Amino acid sequence: MTHLTTGERVKDLRNAKGLTLKELSSAIQLKTGQYIAVSTLSDLEAYGDGCKPNKEPRLSTVKAITDYFEISLDYLAGNSEVKSPNIKLQAIHKMLGLSEEGIKRLQEANEQRMYFVFLALDELLKDDNLYTLDKIGQYLTIGDKYITERIDGQPIKQKTLFAVELQQCFDDMRRKVQEEFNGGAE
């Protein structure tokens, strides 16, 4: 992770939009109503690079820049690598250390999982799958302490038996859905 100064971040953001300092000054004023002189932006981009002494930017300047670029103050200050001002994204970044791209991929994967969960629940709630739904309930509610003997006399956890039955139910359901899908495609 590269630790850029506030000035480097502003310069990178400006360059990403292909703006000159003068164009950025105008664009900020147009979008936020806050005027920032070109010289102030130039000083800000130099801020923290150690080349020349400069003063800290004013809060109103920083606020206008974060509003214009729609970024978080934490990102601009170098406290976060997540540009988004979204509080949830910032919190996830701080807790898990994920990049903004990693968080977005995680959210997309979660949305896909939820979609499939809802499809599976819809399938389970059909009349002919109530047995499977009952097996899921049994599996989720039974504790690990219940033991049964196998045919050969060896002990086995009851939850393991339910898991096997549940897997068979899911396999049957998957086969049925595939047959319906393949039959409906003709």
Model confidence pLDDT, tens digit, residues 110-152: 887 777 777 666 666 665 666 666 767 776 676 667 777 767 7
Give the mean model confidence (pLDDT) for residues 35-61: 79
Tell me the pLDDT of the chain averaged across its residues: 79
Assigned superfamily of 6-85? lambda repressor-like DNA-binding domains (1.10.260.40)
Of residues 112 and 8, the one with the higher pLDDT is 8
Please give the pLDDT value at position 186.
47
| Burial profile 50-71: b = 16 or more Cβ within 10 angstroms, e = fewer | eeeebeebeeebbebbbebbeb
The CA–CA distances, whole Å, from 80 to 28, 33, 91, 104 equal 23, 27, 10, 16
Confidence of residue 54 (pLDDT cuts 50, 70, 90): low
Q: Are 81 and 9 in contact (CB under 8 A)?
A: no
Rounded to 5, what percent of the chain is helix, strand, coil? 65, 5, 30
Question: Residue 171: is its pLDDT beyond 60?
Answer: yes
Q: How many Cβ atoms from other residues are within 10 Å of residue 31's Cβ? A: 13
Tell me what the mean pLDDT of segment 35-63 comes to: 80
User: What are the residue ranges of CATH 1.10.260.40 in the chain?
Assistant: 6-85
pLDDT of res. 34: 94
Angstrom distance (rounded) from CA 165 to CA 137: 12
Pairing mode, strands 147-149 and 155-157: antiparallel
Q: Residue 24's pLDDT is what?
A: 96
Distance, in Å, from the CA atom of 123 to the CA atom of 178, rounded to the nearest integer, reads 12
Predicted local distance difference test score (pLDDT) of residue 22: 96
Hey, how many other C-beta atoms are within 10 angstroms of the C-beta on 105? 12
d(CA 100, CA 86): 11
